[in-house]
Every structure is written in C-alpha cells, then in structure tokens.
Amino acid sequence: MRDETTYIVIHCSQTRPSQKDVDARMIDRWHRERGWLKIGYGGVIKRDGTYEQGRKDDAIQAHVKGYNHTSFGLCLVGGALEEDWKLPDDNFTAEQWESLKEQLTRLVKLYPDARIVGHYDLDKNKTCPNFDVQDYLLHEDIPNYKFQDALTDDADLMELQSDEEPN
Ligand SMILES: [Zn+2]
C-alpha cells in the first residue's frame, strides 16, 4: 500500500487509434510479458471511454520511474500515430476526455494533496501521454483541485517574464 499520493500521473498506451480493443486485460498481459507482476497502472480508459481498474487505487503501482510509491497512474488508450506507432499523436476520443475528467474528479477527491501531471513531467525522456496536461487542466475545471490556481499558461508566463525584464 502507498503511504502517500503526491501525483496523479496521466499516461497513454502508445497504441494506434484503430486498436480499439486495447483494454486493461491486454495491457496486463503486455506488462507481465515484460516481467512485471501485473498491469502497472491503477486505471485504464478505453477508446470508448470505459474505465477499467488496474492495480488497486492505494496499491503501489508500476508506471513511472522513481515515483511508484507516491503516485497513481491513469492510462488513456491510444496516443500513437496510426501510420507509425512510435510517433506521438493526440488522438483521444470525446468519450475518453469525458471519462478522464470523471476519473480525475474521483481521484482528486481521494487524493486531495496530489498534483495532476503527465508522465513527461516526471521523466524528461518521455512525451507520454502525448498531449499538454497543464494546458488541459487550464481549460478543464476539475472540482476541488487545489493546484488549479498555481497553473499558468504560456501567455501568462511570457507576460511575467517581460515584466521582469526592464529592456
Ligand atoms: Zn507513460
């Protein structure tokens, strides 16, 4: 069991949009093939928006190097370019966005002290989940998310920076 949860980490499965049947069971198989105990994520959002539980909410998970003991991993199925699965592509469905908001709402209630981040925020070598999570959070109101006010968009940041520079 995790003692604390400081991050809710969004991932993608890096699979093609046409791979509509990718689900928690399939990811579980892939992760076992890599020699893991079982699926590494806490939850999976299928292409049709269905949420499936992976590891238990409070279990130690296996999805981001260095943070598995302090984070929950949520995986969106998709995120790879149809023509070349190695390339990132923001191709999530409307049903998935809706489900993502629902799950983040649930998780923020469960872990009020956790920041919502993308995998790439914790591992600079990753692009996963292949969309801009901070930008998403700026435009999506997750109820009771206490770090909402700490978000700034790039325009704000530019303004701040230009204020600081007395050119
Ligand atoms: Zn990831």
Residue 72's domain is classified under what CATH number? 3.40.80.10
Average pLDDT of span 62-81: 96
User: What is residue 150's predicted lDDT score, i.e. its pLDDT?
Assistant: 76
Does residue 1 form part of some domain?
no
Backbone φ and ψ for 99, nearest 5 degrees, come out as -65, -35
Catalytic residue among 7, 75, 111, 128: 128
Average pLDDT of span 65-88: 97
Counting the structural domains of the chain, the total is: 1
Does residue 61 form part of some domain?
yes
- To the query of whether residue 86 is one of the catalytic residues in this protein, the response is no
- To the query of whether residue 11 is one of the catalytic residues in this protein, the response is yes
Q: 123 C-alpha vs ligand 1 centroid, how far in Å?
A: 9
Other CB atoms within a 10 A radius of the CB of residue 43 amount to: 23
- To the query of whether residue 41 is one of the catalytic residues in this protein, the response is yes
Distances (CA, A) of 20 to 2, 10, 17, 44, 127: 32, 19, 7, 13, 21
Q: 126 C-alpha vs ligand 1 centroid, how far in Å?
A: 7
User: Picking from 27-41, 47-61, 140-154, which range would have the lowest pLDDT averaged per residue?
Assistant: 140-154
User: What is residue 162's predicted lDDT score, i.e. its pLDDT?
Assistant: 56
Q: Which residues contact 32 (CB under 8 A, 6 or more apart)?
A: 38
Does residue 117 form part of some domain?
yes
Does residue 131 form part of some domain?
yes
User: Which range of residues forms the domain containing residue 139?
Assistant: 7-164
- To the query of whether residue 128 is one of the catalytic residues in this protein, the response is yes
Q: 129 C-alpha vs ligand 1 centroid, how far in Å?
A: 6
Pairing state between β 71-76 and 51-53:
unpaired
- To the query of whether residue 119 is one of the catalytic residues in this protein, the response is yes
Euclidean distance between CA atoms 68 and 51, whole angstroms:
21
Other CB atoms within a 10 A radius of the CB of residue 89 amount to: 19
